[in-house]
Structure 1
């Protein structure tokens, strides 16, 4: 089911919906897991950029985020640590403000999640973003699993660091891939029975590990490798490929 290298040419099956190396419709029930990146994929913002806005450093942080998403900064952990350092001293209330005022699920997110769960799939959120938001999104959309980075907060302020967790310190591309593989093992499915949805360079490793890779309003490098690329419309357009 995976495209071979070099990747086949993409073809447009409807406006803004591209496929390569697969022939729709595919059977949704043939899959057991769908894994989503969070920022700019399952939700509408890059949370770290919005937090930085509270420190008057949004442009500086967003520039590093954009370079990392395009793959111009190869070490995601380094890029995240650089951005986090710029958040030191931001009040914890800024996180709540971002959640309340800025963060929304992307169009079609709830519809796609519900369709997958009706078909028997488990739903994983795996993010280089933060547990403050990921756990709320998990509850809001009724997802089965979530893994993300834990911001360190002391005396009501961000320290500019993350807290080590049982699995490690930072969710980067390699950890996204490992999390997907571990979740497959947990639920008893093969990686070929998993779908991965992302938009940035650090999603490519998990997308390469599964049976169906999906780019959502993604960076060019991600669109060029994904088996499905949703370039206009909502996440539920994947249901035009999976029935």
Structure 2
């Protein structure tokens, strides 16, 4: 049975509040300084997302896949995630990850908390170890397209979707759905979003999700749960 709607959640800066998942892993992998320098060039418009991904992926060379997965079990996340996922289940809304974080990051968060994983950029794998190359790049437009493709597979129109994010990588998706929530966001995302929220607890999003969900009820003529 298709969900009544979909909420797309960004990861870095949204579900991972303090620093990016890439920085979390790079510190353990030993190339945080190189990644920080690459990300600073990206922020200044001097490097592309692809170039930053190449720098980051190189630090994964010869590291076991299971090692990365074990570290990600310790990735700090925003409070209140499980309650928001439970809200989604109660309202027949699918919580889907839409992010430029590496694919194992999304897979880990989905497994831990019940989101639907939806891929991401990938570091190459040779046997049981990462090879230090980028097997699949993803930019903000690919992030949008992948999210909308999953919605189409579910039979859910874009006007029954909303998005939660914090940065310029969320702008194409924000522009493709009728409702968007900027969570602890930068100025570009705040300007583009329907609602801007500052909080350390994802449960503070629920009153806004309630309003959005009631709109789904008006569109399908169904009585909203709860």
Give the structure-1-normalised TM-score: 0.73
Q: How many angstroms apart in 2 are the aligned matches of 1:194 and 1:153? A: 33
Partner of residue 188, structure 2:
221
Q: Is the 8 A contact 1:61 1:86 kept in 2?
A: no
* Runs of at least 5 residues in structure 2 that lack an aligned partner in the other structure: 211-226
Q: Is the 8 A contact 2:34 2:55 kept in 1?
A: no
Partner of residue 131, structure 2:
159
- Cα gap change, 1:72/1:229 in structure 2, threshold over 3 Å: closer, same or farther? farther
Over residues 21-55 of structure 1, what are the superposed CA-to-partner deviations in whole Å (9 max), with x where a residue is unaligned?
xxxxxxxxx96011111223123442221222134
SS at structure 2 position matched to 1:159: strand
Partner of residue 46, structure 1:
20
- Cα gap change, 1:92/1:186 in structure 2, threshold over 3 Å: closer, same or farther? closer
Q: How many angstroms apart in 2 are the aligned matches of 1:185 and 1:90? A: 36
Task: Report how far residue 229 of structure 1 moved.
Answer: 1.5
Q: Is the 8 A contact 2:14 2:165 kept in 1?
A: yes
Higher strand share: 1
Larger RCO, structure (CA 8 Å, separation 6 or more): 1
Task: Report how far residue 93 of structure 1 moved.
Answer: 6.1
Task: Report how far residue 78 of structure 1 moved.
Answer: 2.7
Over residues 50-86 of structure 1, what are the superposed CA-to-partner deviations in whole Å (9 max), with x where a residue is unaligned?
2221343213313433664x58467322322233234
Task: Report how far residue 206 of structure 1 moved.
Answer: 0.9
Partner of residue 129, structure 1:
101
- Cα gap change, 1:38/1:100 in structure 2, threshold over 3 Å: closer, same or farther? same
Give the structure-2-normalised TM-score: 0.78
- Cα gap change, 1:93/1:180 in structure 2, threshold over 3 Å: closer, same or farther? closer
Q: How many angstroms apart in 2 are the aligned matches of 1:66 and 1:109? A: 30
Over residues 107-136 of structure 1, what are the superposed CA-to-partner deviations in whole Å (9 max), with x where a residue is unaligned?
122211211221111121122122222112
Q: How many angstroms apart in 1 are the aligned matches of 2:113 and 2:131? A: 29
RMSD (Å) for aligned C-alpha atoms: 2.6
SS at structure 1 position matched to 2:120: strand
- Cα gap change, 1:141/1:61 in structure 2, threshold over 3 Å: closer, same or farther? same
- Cα gap change, 1:55/1:185 in structure 2, threshold over 3 Å: closer, same or farther? closer
In the alignment of these two chains, the number of paired residues is: 207
Higher helix share: 2
* Runs of at least 5 residues in structure 1 that lack an aligned partner in the other structure: 1-29, 164-168
Task: Report how far residue 236 of structure 1 moved.
Answer: 1.8
